[in-house]
């Protein structure tokens, strides 16, 4: 399997460590607001990457940080008058709930930044000792130019970086490029004790403290959205490699493209579509996953109303197929294995999920076009669907209330068999008014919604 690595700007073959192990760290959210569709895109992609690596037998540990102290959180406190505890507990609960609903369940451990203030302080002390950090009146800063590779990940020279990014102006800083490691407390801000007085960590040092204490100074995969490359990820490398003198800190840097949510904001029909919570009111989680996975993970994309409606249609077709075969046990066969192999092989090529989605859509279409199916075929189809679910998370499996639909369906069939079509139709129509469709085929009736 090959992936595009941002640091080398090339396709790299994925190699595991001893015992088929890999460690992956993905930048988690700053918990100051409801998750939006950009979060959905990023975390669905890494969820599928994690699922696929595990499907291949790799023992992957997936670590995500949760930024529970940061400038945006303090701004939110000032805007709302709410306490730090209130904001971080509300929005972290909301984040985990939305991830659960989106079926992003592959994270092994979520690490809250403020649980690592001791480890952060240890790292800053080491940087000071090695001459990479200095203290001024408002905090402790990192001497970016002292680290000779600063700028290598984002592939810009340092002077371009200064003009390209909005660098904080601070007269006392030795160089505008220097970034903060520890911010000293201002009135009304939450704070933690440190050798430099009460304060809070800078954003970049949170990640390296968490990864070093969990994985050590070097690990396999680091993920996050592309807009984090500079200064965030660039600064992580500078911190960790300066501390450990070991490089590279990360073997594979995998970055997801930006999802343009602004266009959605401007769309009248989708005006409430910005938060995942609102999207989930109109669409299945599987539809949101299908939509995101139909895009190349690394591309910058706008998404329109049509793409999510198409994705919902695909999700429903998969569900109809599942209903047709669900009474059977799943069974592996050479033919089923061949189909599964064909579906997942594009993932070997830098996680080409759009190609995999095309294979899935083709498989579902072919299967649904069969007027009758043997039990053996049903068992094979069910096996393929369960593998698709394992890796992609796009099969809408019936939950308990959905199973009760079978009872209603059997009742309707009893009426039809007795020739009581009025009663049968009444059941069909009242279900339809609730958005539940009955499809009658030669083989029997199926419900879907």
Residues that bind Zn ion (CB under 5 A): 27, 207
Question: 301: closest CA among 225, 232, 228?
Answer: 225
- The nearer residue to Zn ion, 233 or 324, going by C-beta atoms, is 233
- The nearer residue to Zn ion, 64 or 388, going by C-beta atoms, is 64
> Across the strands, what pairs with 64?
26, 110
Q: How far is the CB of 27 from Zn ion (least distance, A)?
A: 3
Q: How far is the CB of 383 from Zn ion (least distance, A)?
A: 39
- The nearer residue to Zn ion, 68 or 207, going by C-beta atoms, is 207
- The nearer residue to Zn ion, 205 or 318, going by C-beta atoms, is 205
Burial class of residue 178 in the structure, from the number of CB atoms within 10 Å of its CB (0-12 exposed, 13-18 middle, 19+ buried)? buried
Sign of CA dihedral 345, 346, 351, 353: negative
- The nearer residue to Zn ion, 27 or 384, going by C-beta atoms, is 27
CA 131 to CA 119: how far, in whole Å?
A: 19
Q: How far is the CB of 8 from Zn ion (least distance, A)?
A: 21
Sign of CA dihedral 236, 97, 396, 258: negative
Q: How far is the CB of 224 from Zn ion (least distance, A)?
A: 6
Strand 179-184 with 199-201, pairing = antiparallel
Q: How far is the CB of 232 from Zn ion (least distance, A)?
A: 6
- The nearer residue to Zn ion, 27 or 291, going by C-beta atoms, is 27
- The nearer residue to Zn ion, 67 or 106, going by C-beta atoms, is 67
Q: How far is the CB of 222 from Zn ion (least distance, A)?
A: 9
CA 158 to CA 242: how far, in whole Å?
A: 18
Q: How far is the CB of 373 from Zn ion (least distance, A)?
A: 48
397 and 320 in contact (C-beta within 8 Å)?
no
- The nearer residue to Zn ion, 77 or 111, going by C-beta atoms, is 111
Count of Cβ atoms closer than 10 Å to residue 250 Cβ: 27
- Coil/strand/helix, residue 61: strand
The alpha carbons of the chain give a radius of gyration, in whole angstroms, of: 26
CA 96 to CA 34: how far, in whole Å?
A: 11
- The nearer residue to Zn ion, 45 or 363, going by C-beta atoms, is 45
Question: 189: closest CA among 115, 78, 79?
Answer: 78
Question: 199: closest CA among 129, 111, 124, 145?
Answer: 124
- The nearer residue to Zn ion, 26 or 121, going by C-beta atoms, is 26
CA 211 to CA 295: how far, in whole Å?
A: 29
- The nearer residue to Zn ion, 3 or 27, going by C-beta atoms, is 27
CA 297 to CA 222: how far, in whole Å?
A: 15
Q: Which residue is nearest to Zn ion (CB)?
A: 27
330-339: long-range pairs with CB below 8 Å, 24+: 330/379, 330/382, 330/383, 330/385, 330/386, 331/376, 331/379, 331/380, 331/382, 331/383, 332/383, 333/376, 333/379, 333/380, 333/383, 335/380, 336/380, 336/381, 336/383, 336/384, 339/363, 339/380, 339/384
Q: How far is the CB of 65 from Zn ion (least distance, A)?
A: 6
Q: How far is the CB of 311 from Zn ion (least distance, A)?
A: 29
Residue 13, φ and ψ in degrees, nearest 5? -75, 130
Output the CA angle 436-439-440, nearest 5 degrees.
Answer: 145
Q: How far is the CB of 70 from Zn ion (least distance, A)?
A: 10
Q: How far is the CB of 143 from Zn ion (least distance, A)?
A: 21
């Amino acid at each position: 399997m090959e992936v595009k690595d941002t640091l080398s700007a090339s396709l790299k073959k994925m190699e595991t460590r001893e015992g088929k192990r890999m460690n992956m760290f993905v930048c988690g959210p700053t918990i100051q607001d409801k998750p939006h569709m950009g979060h959905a895109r990023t975390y669905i992609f890494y969820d599928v990457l994690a699922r696929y690596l595990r499907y291949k037998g790799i023992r992957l540990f997936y670590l995500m940080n949760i930024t529970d102290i940061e400038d945006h959180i303090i701004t939110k406190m000032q805007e709302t008058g709410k306490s730090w505890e209130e904001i971080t507990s509300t929005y972290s609960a909301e984040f985990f709930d939305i991830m659960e609903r989106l079926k992003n369940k592959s994270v092994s451990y979520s690490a809250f930044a403020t649980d690592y203030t001791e480890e952060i302080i240890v790292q800053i002390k080491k940087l000071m000792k090695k001459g990479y950090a200095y203290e001024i009146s408002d905090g402790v800063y990192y001497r970016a130019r002292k680290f000779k590779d600063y700028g290598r990940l984002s592939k810009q020279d340092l002077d371009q970086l200064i003009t390209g990014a909005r660098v904080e102006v601070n007269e006392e800083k030795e160089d505008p490029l220097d970034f903060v490691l520890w911010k000293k407390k201002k009135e009304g801000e939450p704070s933690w004790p440190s050798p430099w007085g009460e304060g809070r960590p800078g954003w970049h040092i949170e990640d390296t403290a968490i990864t070093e204490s969990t994985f050590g100074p070097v690990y396999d995969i680091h993920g996050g959205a592309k807009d984090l490359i500079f200064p965030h990820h660039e600064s992580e490398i500078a911190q960790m490699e300066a501390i450990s003198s070991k490089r590279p800190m990360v073997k594979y840097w995998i970055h997801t493209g930006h999802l343009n949510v602004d266009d959605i904001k401007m769309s009248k029909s989708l005006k409430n579509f910005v938060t995942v919570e609102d999207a989930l009111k109109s669409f299945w989680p599987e539809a949101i996953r299908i939509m995101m996975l139909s895009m190349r993970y690394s591309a910058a994309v706008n998404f329109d109303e049509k793409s999510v409606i198409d994705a919902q249609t695909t999700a429903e077709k998969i569900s109809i197929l599942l209903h047709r075969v669900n009474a059977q046990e799943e069974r592996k066969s050479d033919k089923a294995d061949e189909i599964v192999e064909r579906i997942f092989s594009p993932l070997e090529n830098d996680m080409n999920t759009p190609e995999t989605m095309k294979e899935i859509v083709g498989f579902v279409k072919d299967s649904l076009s069969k007027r009758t199916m043997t039990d053996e075929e049903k068992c094979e189809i069910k096996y393929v669907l369960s593998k698709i679910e394992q890796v992609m998370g796009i099969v809408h499996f019936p939950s308990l209330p959905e199973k009760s639909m079978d009872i209603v369906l059997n009742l309707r069939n009893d009426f039809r068999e007795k020739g009581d079509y009025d009663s049968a139709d009444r059941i069909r129509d009242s279900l339809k008014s609730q958005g539940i469709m009955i499809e009658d085929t030669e083989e029997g009736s199926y419900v879907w919604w």
